[in-house]
Amino acid sequence: MNDNNNLFFEGVAHRYGDNIDTDVIIPARYLNTSDPNELALHCMEDIDKEFSRKKREGDLIVAGENFGCGSSREHAPIAIKASGISCVIAASFARIFYRNAINIGLPILECPEANADVEDGDRLAVDLEKGTIQNRSKKTDYKAQPFPEFMKEIIRAGGLINSMKKKLEGK
Amino acid sequence: MGMTMTEKILAFHAGIDETKPGQLIDARCDMVLANDITAPIAIREFYKIGRERVWNGERIALVPDHFTPNKDIKSAEQAKIVREFAKKFEIKNYFEVGEMGIEHALLPEKGLVLPGDLVIGADSHTCTYGALGAFSTGVGSTDLACAMASGTAWFKVPESILLELSGKLPRYSSGKDVILKIIGDIGVDGARYMTMEFTGDGIASLSMDSRFTIANMAIEAGAKNGIFPVDDSTLSYVEESMKSGLREDEQKIYEKDPDAYYSREIRYDLGTIESQVAFPHLPENTKGISEVGDIKIDQVVIGSCTNGRMEDLKIAAEILRGRKVKKGVRLLIFPATQKILLDAMREGLIEVFIEAGGAVSTPTCGPCLGGHMGVLAEGEKAVATTNRNFVGRMGHKESEVYLASPAVAAASAVLGKISSPEELAL
């Protein structure tokens, strides 16, 4: 699993559409556990039965509008991260998912341009710090929305828990 | 520039005079909440922070309501983690099975949420409490862990959409039809990252139960929160709920300023809103009941944090009284809290449901998220008063959920197909 100190990722894109909800990312019937590896076995299975078999460490998910809508279950970004996915790129994210992904250290980028152009199987290289995405298969570049400084600090601290620890220790 | 209700509540809790959309703030919480699905991860993360105490044992609510009464061994283990944590850290508002209800019906009923509060919960439907004029929003388990340790959370001040309601709903329409109509119009991301603030003289005619239903589904339009102004109905509801003595502090009533900024304003005449049905697999796929066509169903679910309150059970009982559930259809009814179940029993509603051929359950979120107590098989169709109809939401990925009001759900149970109560010629 990526520990996020490295802000450069390269892998193959798995394509999905708009409004990918947290119920399809990890169906509620598997929420009787919070073990990341067990959750990863069922990630995306209701819309893509092959996902857990075909994804490789470092691969990326590229999707459309409102990715992660629905339930607040943190099991969704946890399942994606434990699947070895290095980064999720979407045209837009639902707000709780966006927050959860940053809090647990799953890199995400908003990029409508990538959603419009990337095809399933394209090889992508992402620089999170710069917010750039290279499509090595199509030889094109996309520019993503940069993170606000406040969120970069959470990412640099290695997630919200570490940043909270520092804050409370400082008191 | 004036402020919206939400901006005022956020400013107060951040200890600053004003806030603007886009501003990042650290704010104090009045109540933080988690359930048996989200609390175990929050507890795991809480321990990583390394605190020996929680921020305030009276301002944390833990409600095991999703896979309880425990549906399997793994769920029992999850519930046990929550129970033991509650005991160890002296969490006053831990509700065990028997006193437990569905969290978003239970907290307002117990007087744990008051007007002007800032509440976060590790459950997306935490936005329900906006009906009381509070700011409340769903977060993940890690945010919740940090709030249990510090009593604070970070927020980006949202932009607001103003929804002005006028008039009065038709006979069989309720809060569910209002919110489904709105989601159908603006889409499942129509209010993404935003506040849905309700206003207008039509609100006075909406019961508190209908307002809870409307605020509950603000998340289904992608909203951060939904919020209603405080009026006489709110005040009498709160007066009753505060008799529990679980909260003794004063409530704060906020009103939007006349020159507050809204990025969009939408008007609805409640009188024109007929019963709505959201088709699979998004809550935005709505149709008026008159355009639904012939859709046969296998199961009807009445309940959930959206529609398991007294008003919902009353209208369902009115429609089911003296009638029978269509042969081959399963009707499942889930009163949202023990108090609602008891009140429904005393008023004879439970008798009506059972005589009609319905199954009545103890409170649980079970069927809404395909957990237990009403999971759908391949190819089955259900009408549900719940809040989501995503792929696989209530069971098999080839099953279908149609979202509707309790009135439509009850009529559909009798006729075996999605129906308006008017088709029963009441």
Q: Kindly provide the ipTM of the predicted complex, given to two decimals.
A: 0.94
Give me the pLDDT at residue A7, please.
80
> What percentage of residues in chain A have a pLDDT greater than 70?
96
Place of tokens 């329409």: B173
Give me the pLDDT at residue A171, please.
55
> pTM value?
0.97
Choose the closest CB to A29 out of B78, B154, B370.
B370
> What percentage of residues in chain B have a pLDDT greater than 90?
98
Which residues are paired to B376 by β-bridges?
B395
Local confidence band at B426 (pLDDT 50, 70, 90 cut-offs):
low
- Express each pLDDT in B81-94 by its tens digit: 999 999 999 999 99
- Express each pLDDT in B182-239 by its tens digit: 999 999 999 999 999 999 999 999 999 999 999 999 999 999 999 999 999 999 999 9
Please name the residue of chain A whose CA is at the shortest distance from the CA of residue B388.
A70
Give me the pLDDT at residue B323, please.
98
Q: CB A34 to CB B44 under 8 A?
A: yes
- Express each pLDDT in B302-334 by its tens digit: 999 999 999 999 999 999 999 999 999 999 999
Sign of the CA dihedral with B114 first, then A74, B51, and B49 last = negative
- Express each pLDDT in A109-127 by its tens digit: 999 999 999 999 999 999 9
Please name the residue of chain B whose CA is at the shortest distance from the CA of residue A20.
B390
Low-confidence ranges of chain A (pLDDT < 70): 1-6, 171
Distances (CA, A) of B331 to A44, B168, B173, B407: 30, 30, 21, 13
- Site from A38, A72, A97 to mutate, B interface, most B CB atoms within 10 angstroms: A72
* Spatial contact of B297 and B332, defined as CB atoms under 8 Å apart: no
CA atoms within 13 A of residue B66's CA, in its CB half-sphere? 29
**Residue A153 parent element (H or E):** helix A149-157
Distance, in Å, from the CA atom of A168 to the CA atom of A166, rounded to the nearest integer, reads 6
- From chain B, the residues in CB contact with A27 under 8 A are 370, 392
Q: A138: distance to nearest CA of chain B, Å? A: 30
- From chain B, the residues in CB contact with A75 under 8 A are 37, 41
- Express each pLDDT in B20-59 by its tens digit: 999 999 999 999 999 999 999 999 999 999 999 999 999 9
- pLDDT over 90 (residue B253): yes
Distance, in Å, from the CA atom of B43 to the CA atom of B82, rounded to the nearest integer, reads 8
Please name the residue of chain A whose CA is at the shortest distance from the CA of residue B369.
A28
Give me the pLDDT at residue B248, please.
83
Choose the closest CB to A168 out of B74, B142, B149.
B149
- Express each pLDDT in B355-368 by its tens digit: 999 999 999 999 99
Give me the pLDDT at residue A1, please.
38
* Spatial contact of B259 and B158, defined as CB atoms under 8 Å apart: no
Interface of A with B (CB under 8 A): 19, 21, 23-24, 27-29, 31-34, 46-47, 65-66, 69-75, 77-78, 92, 94-96, 99-100, 103-104, 148, 150, 159-161, 164-165, 167-168
Q: A136: distance to nearest CA of chain B, Å? A: 31
